[in-house]
Structure 1
Amino acid sequence: MIKRFYYILAIFSLNLIYSCNQNSSEEGDIHPIKIQPVASVENLSIKSARIVRFTENTFAPVGSVYKILAIQNRVILVDRIIGNAVIIFDDTGKYLNHIHRIGEGPGEYKNLENIYYDEKENVLILIPMDYRKKYFFDLDGNFIKEEKYNENIRYIDLLPSGSSEILINNGSLNAEDGFKVYENQELVLSAIPFVDYLDMTPLYGRNVISKIDRDNYNFTVGNRDTIFRYNSNSHEISVDYIFDLEAPISKIDYGNHPHPLEYFVESQMYIGVFDIFQNEKFLSFTTFKYPGIKGRLLSKSTNRIYDTEELIHNKIGNIGFDGILGLSENGEFIAVLKPNQNGGWDFSKNKNLEAAFDEMGALGPEEFLLLFFKIDEIG
């Protein structure tokens, strides 16, 4: 996470862009939801909580968690920093296989960008950083085939379904629309035009498409303060949530500020909405405020905002928290946990998790755990 943070700051100093809360014509009568203040986590209860530790594998220790896919009793991790690989475990943490095909031959690539799951075809689709080909694998990590890549697309996020693709495009690389839908490789919808002061984003968007139900999806684009809805039957886009990021100045003024990075740090501004996951009751997302990420949980029934890290500390214990980065097939949020600032693990607020942790034995200082959990709002 620290490496990722400094990477963000490096890009920040180059782009000097920020998205503050500015209403658009698409917002209608929806009232902005303030990022602050947050509601008391005493209104929440954690249920069905369990922790997963990963066994040693024959490839390399997991050095970072960029993305988590929980599919058919498997937990699939993307490690872009150390392993440059996809590592596949079962849902108890037992190592199964890995994807690491570095090279220039058939079925090989130099660097991993991301991996996505096609629910209809039941395959994984790997995208390399050079965006030249797509690589297809089964859920056990076995290579199937490769296809030539559409060079006009730079995936930030992708939700494939057989012959259809719902995607977020990195408009800063080609100045094209941020949201696109393809069917049988034909473009059927292109929306959210590129805007430099919104889309030259210092944040690397990931997990910015979230399935609501069979036909509806939430998504975000660039540094906008809005979570949109897309209906795959009507191809209509609407707005579900607008967040008041409570910025002291407008995004345009910020872009023209003589020292925008210093101003961002000193003013404690919030930026971006990404890492979106949801179940029937809550929508989880991440925003950024110096010096790191800030997790938020939005109650769908009350529109209350909760601080995810505060929830972990008050209901689980004093543990390091790297964010919610996945959702299980039965609606559990998946959080990445790490040792606290003292290098220890504290599960004292949850006796069941404390007992499970004690049975695991000693953990190394670089290890992490995954926390699977659901929550209820009781107040």
Structure 2
Amino acid sequence: MTYINISMRNQDRFSNENNTNFEPYSKPLKNRNYSLDSICWPLYPFTLWMIIILSSCSNRKSDLQFQDVYTLDKEVIDISASEIFESFQIIPLETKEIIGEINNLIVTENHLVILDNAKTKSIFLHAIDGSQLGVIHPLGEGPGEYLFPASIAYSEQEESILVYCSLLGKIINYDLNGEFLGEYFLSGESVSDLIVFKGNLYMTLKDGEGRNILGILNYKDGREMEKIPLPNNGFKVSGIKPQYIYKSHNEESFYFKDIYSNSLSEVNMTGEIIGQKTFDLNKDYITDWKGRSLRFDEIIPEIQARGYIVITDEFIDSEGYFLINTEEGKGSGGMLLVDKETYSAKPVRNIINDMDGLYSYTSILGNSTNPGYFIVSMEPSIINLRLDQMEVGLSPYLQKLRSAGLQNDDNPVLIIYKMKTSIESLEK
């Protein structure tokens, strides 16, 4: 099998020159000037009085520096991939051991970490070119073993993979060779999601009352986990495993989102909620569902019956904009393309693929929400079917894709689109 690593920049998308650089985007967030120093002083005594009140009420866990409200545009748009993506790569995953299903994917500068908890109950480690480096699957109940790997996190700096086993209630630490480094047993909490930031493990927990808690754990020194309250919708939903936390584009903070919430809370490294992004959609559903315990199969019919537009669990951050999935009352899902500068949220019907020419996209796939990257995984059989249907002039990479020799029983192929920092069409 031939391994290809295609990277195409937007301005060169109709040439045959490849750019194989693949560096995660990382730039500081623009200064929003939301500090108290920037308040308009003609408000005089009222403003001063409010500053005193706010200062006295602030605390470590809820020091809001900004609160953005995004308004939904009525016009539904189609947008070209080349308008929002800067470049892309096509990465066939080497087939030494078969990946049954990609349930979670972590992309870093050097590695791809893949969780398959549906079929093989394994964690696959690949290099960024797709070559398979190793597989972790120590099934059992002893030290360093798990029964069901519910979630994973990866530290590029520490070169360690952390696995949460929901059935044994523990978090296990492995090195890149799959060697057992240590484990941490939880005290009855249910972990919903976890990420690694600079030596600490951040996880969303549910207590016995269903309340959201942020757990911060230094998984190397064995200290007791710090627990911090998080926002709560006031209703419960069972039957799905939602994602709750998402890294920001600069990876200096992360976002927390309760299931079906219309708000994202930005949280810094110490657990302080420093900002909030709220979508001015249907606020009624938050009120209607408060105090209720809902099953997932009840949610969609109610959304459709009441005509709600609801924010779901897939979110990808970039510097100037972000993408987030929606569920709509008319029975279809979609995406919002949200401009951070103008505070507009445009409903997107299709991302028309004018880059690699394979398929257009209607939503973010749920198995990967890495900041700055829109990632698609496809079975080789689906790609080969599309290649047979494509005209020669449709994609400058058609011949390279065909010559890759993808076999239908090979591991999935990743298509990784790097998001632009800003979008000109949104600024008009």
Q: TM-score range by the shorter chain?
A: 0.7 to 0.9
**3-state SS in 1 of match to 2:254:** strand
Aligned to 1:52: 91
Contact 1:208 1:275 survives alignment (8 Å): no
- What do residues 21-67 of structure 1 show as CA deviations (whole Å, max 9, x unaligned)? xxxxx898632332864444158253321211112123xx2222111
Closer/same/farther in 2, CA of residues 320 and 378 from structure 1, 3 Å limit: closer
Query: Superposed, which structure 2 residues align to 1:14-163 within 5 Å?
Result: 30-34=68-72, 37-42=75-80, 44-58=83-97, 61-139=98-176, 141-161=177-197
Once residues 73 and 149 of structure 2 are traced to their aligned partners in structure 1, the CA distance between those partners, rounded to angstroms, is 33
Aligned to 1:300: 340
Contact 1:119 1:160 survives alignment (8 Å): no
Aligned to 1:371: 415
Aligned to 1:354: 398
1:323 aligns with 2:358: no
Contact 1:131 1:151 survives alignment (8 Å): no
Unaligned residue ranges in structure 1 (runs of 5+)? 1-25
Aligned to 1:208: 245
2:377 to 336, 343, 357: 336
1:310 to 350, 357, 361: 350
Contact 1:124 1:138 survives alignment (8 Å): yes
| 1:306 to partner: Cα distance | 5.5
Query: Superposed, which structure 2 residues align to 1:128-277 within 5 Å?
Result: 128-139=165-176, 141-161=177-197, 164-171=200-207, 174-182=209-217, 185-186=223-224, 188=226, 190-192=228-230, 194=232, 196-197=234-235, 199-200=236-237, 202-206=239-243, 208-213=245-250, 215-232=252-269, 235-246=271-282, 249-253=284-288, 262-267=301-306, 269-277=308-316
Aligned to 2:40: none
CA RMSD across the alignment: 3.8
Once residues 36 and 361 of structure 1 are traced to their aligned partners in structure 2, the CA distance between those partners, rounded to angstroms, is 45
| 1:297 to partner: Cα distance | 3.9
Contact 1:133 1:146 survives alignment (8 Å): no
Contact 2:316 2:370 survives alignment (8 Å): no
Unaligned residue ranges in structure 2 (runs of 5+)? 1-63
Closer/same/farther in 2, CA of residues 303 and 251 from structure 1, 3 Å limit: closer
Closer/same/farther in 2, CA of residues 188 and 351 from structure 1, 3 Å limit: same
Closer/same/farther in 2, CA of residues 288 and 318 from structure 1, 3 Å limit: farther
Closer/same/farther in 2, CA of residues 166 and 53 from structure 1, 3 Å limit: same
Q: How many residues are aligned here?
A: 345
- What do residues 58-103 of structure 1 show as CA deviations (whole Å, max 9, x unaligned)? 3xx2222111112342211111211111112221222221111112
Once residues 73 and 163 of structure 1 are traced to their aligned partners in structure 2, the CA distance between those partners, rounded to angstroms, is 18
Once residues 347 and 200 of structure 1 are traced to their aligned partners in structure 2, the CA distance between those partners, rounded to angstroms, is 43
- What do residues 161-180 of structure 1 show as CA deviations (whole Å, max 9, x unaligned)? 46633222235x65243334
Letter in 1 for 2:210: A
Once residues 76 and 65 of structure 1 are traced to their aligned partners in structure 2, the CA distance between those partners, rounded to angstroms, is 10
Give identity over the alignment, percent.
15
